[in-house]
């Protein structure tokens, strides 16, 4: 029977080309957007290289210095990190990194723009970069303010062609650095590690950063997850007793994951209340809302399509189809449609991600199809297909055969 249903579904879909196209497009396009959006989120938040140790890392990404209704909201400054985060109990390493900024260089008279990030030596131990040449600079290099740099593959190609780069000099932001390591390109979407060129913080031309409490730094604490609660508690207690330059002000911030920080920044910009689950809920809600649109569209299409076929329902009933058999037939038709749409969506998603990676606006994008999300999307599409088919099929199956033969729909 199932084989007959499948055969019949295939024939009906082939015969009703416009309906088939509209339904397939609805399902495939929804899955395409869902998978591309997920790939972007995955590339921002999921533990991909060099952030493979994210499960063992807590970050201080945002910091606010508040005084009543006014205050400064931003990222932690060097002075804050240096004073309150250096010797946190249980912390194996503390990476300190400045926000990436765009700087210009000249290569053979041509202007080349690069993204520069200043970090401490522990940065290379907390993050897991893939070195293709040389090695990272060390904590000693940072202490001694040695003018050394790690560059990515694209920068190596821009400055030195295809030859090796180790030991050669590179001029960025008006300073000269000796290249000590070359790493694989990191996606622009990996906000914390992303750059073209990494150099020690201490090589900055001014030491004004050393006095700032709220500035443009991030601190990453590497620790065993079992110590996270103790770490957070200790940090919160230090934060409470910290003395900002303005004696009436207090600090607000938390040790957390990048996802939790993003969520809190969106829903509590003053960095006070923690809402790590809200971003997840908001994203899930948006995804559901986005899936609901094609579902309603599919229900509508199915309703009119099945109503059109009341004559067929009458004939089938006259020749022995029971209501249950008819529901089965229409539901199989819808499932076939949903799965075909899913297959098309898979192909379209793969092509879209390939295009974004190769030619899209995101530097060094490494978007990958998240199979789990795709399968969930497909399951959802099938569920909607099922629901959108069951209701009209059920109504039609209850139709009296004589009424159905007369072409009456309800």
Partner 1 sequence: MIRLEDVSKTYRTDRIETRALDGIRLNVDKGEFVAVMGPSGCGKTTLLNLMGLLDVPSKGRVVLDDRPVDTRRDRELSRLRNEKVGFIFQSFHLVPDLTVLDNVEIPLLYRAITGKERRRMALAALDRVGLSSRVHHFPTQLSGGQQQRVAVARALVGRPQLLLADEPTGNLDSTMGEEILGLLASANGEGTTVVMVTHDPRMAEHAHRIVRLFDGRQVQ
Residue identified by tokens 């099938």 is: 382
If the CB atoms of residues 2 and 240 are measured against partner 1, the closer one turns out to be: 2
**How does DSSP assign 339-394, residue by residue?**
HHHHHHHHHHHHHHHHHHHHHSSSTT------HHHHHHHHHHHHHHHHHHHHHHHH
If the CB atoms of residues 16 and 168 are measured against partner 1, the closer one turns out to be: 16
Residue 380 CB, nearest distance to partner 1 (Å)? 28
Q: Is 371 exposed, middle or buried (0-12, 13-18, 19+ CB in 10 A)?
A: exposed
Angular region, 49: left φ>0, alpha ψ -120 to 50, beta rest: beta
Residue 331 CB, nearest distance to partner 1 (Å)? 16
Any bridge partners for residue 31, and if so which? none
| Residues 279, 262 contacting (CB under 8 angstroms) | yes
Residue 344 CB, nearest distance to partner 1 (Å)? 22
Residue 184 CB, nearest distance to partner 1 (Å)? 55
If the CB atoms of residues 131 and 394 are measured against partner 1, the closer one turns out to be: 394
Give the three-class secondary structure for 241: helix
Residue 329 CB, nearest distance to partner 1 (Å)? 9
d(CA 396, CA 315): 12
Residue 15 CB, nearest distance to partner 1 (Å)? 4
If the CB atoms of residues 1 and 289 are measured against partner 1, the closer one turns out to be: 1
If the CB atoms of residues 1 and 240 are measured against partner 1, the closer one turns out to be: 1
If the CB atoms of residues 20 and 54 are measured against partner 1, the closer one turns out to be: 20
User: What residues make contact with partner 1 under the rule CB under 8 A?
Assistant: 1, 3-4, 8, 11-12, 15-16, 309, 311-312, 314-325, 400-402, 405
d(CA 123, CA 220): 8
């Amino acid at each position: 029977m199932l084989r007959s249903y499948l055969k019949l579904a295939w024939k009906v879909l082939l015969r009703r080309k416009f309906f088939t196209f509209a339904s397939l497009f609805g399902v495939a396009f929804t899955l395409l957007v869902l998978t591309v959006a997920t790939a972007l989120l995955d590339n921002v938040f999921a533990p991909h290289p060099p952030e493979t140790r994210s499960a063992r890392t807590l970050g201080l990404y945002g910091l606010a210095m508040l005084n009543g209704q006014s205050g400064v909201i931003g990222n932690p400054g060097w002075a804050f990190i240096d004073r309150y985060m250096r010797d946190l109990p249980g912390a194996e390493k503390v990476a300190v990194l400045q926000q990436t900024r765009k700087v210009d260089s000249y290569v053979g008279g041509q202007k080349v723009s690069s993204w520069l990030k200043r970090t401490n030596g522990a940065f290379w131990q907390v993050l897991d970069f893939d070195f293709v040449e040389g090695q990272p600079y060390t904590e000693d290099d940072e202490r001694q303010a040695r003018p050394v740099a790690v560059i990515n593959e694209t920068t190596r190609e821009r400055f030195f062609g295809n030859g090796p780069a180790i030991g050669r000099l590179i001029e960025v932001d008006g300073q000269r650095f000796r290249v000590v390591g070359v790493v694989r390109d990191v996606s622009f979407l990996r906000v914390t590690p992303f750059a073209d060129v990494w150099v020690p913080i201490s090589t900055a031309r001014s030491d004004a950063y050393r006095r700032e409490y709220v500035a443009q730094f991030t601190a990453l604490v590497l620790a065993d997850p079992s110590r996270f609660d103790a770490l957070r508690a200790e940090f919160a207690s230090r934060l409470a007793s910290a003395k900002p330059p303005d004696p009436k002000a207090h600090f607000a911030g938390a040790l957390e994951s990048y996802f939790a920080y993003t969520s809190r920044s969106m829903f509590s910009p003053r960095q006070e209340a923690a809402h790590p689950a809200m971003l997840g809920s908001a994203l899930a809600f948006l995804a559901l809302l986005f899936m609901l649109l094609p579902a309603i569209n599919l229900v509508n299409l199915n309703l009119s399509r099945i109503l059109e076929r009341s004559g067929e329902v009458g004939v089938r009933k006259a020749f022995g189809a029971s209501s249950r058999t008819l529901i089965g037939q229409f539901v199989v038709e819808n499932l076939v449609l949903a799965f075909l749409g899913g297959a098309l969506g898979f192909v379209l998603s793969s092509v879209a991600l390939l295009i974004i990676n190769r030619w899209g606006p995101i530097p060094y994008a490494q978007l990958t199809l998240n199979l789990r999300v795709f399968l969930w999307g497909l399951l959802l599409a099938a569920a909607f297909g099922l629901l959108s088919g069951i209701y009209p099929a059920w109504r039609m199956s209850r139709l009296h055969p004589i009424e159905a033969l007369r072409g009456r729909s309800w």
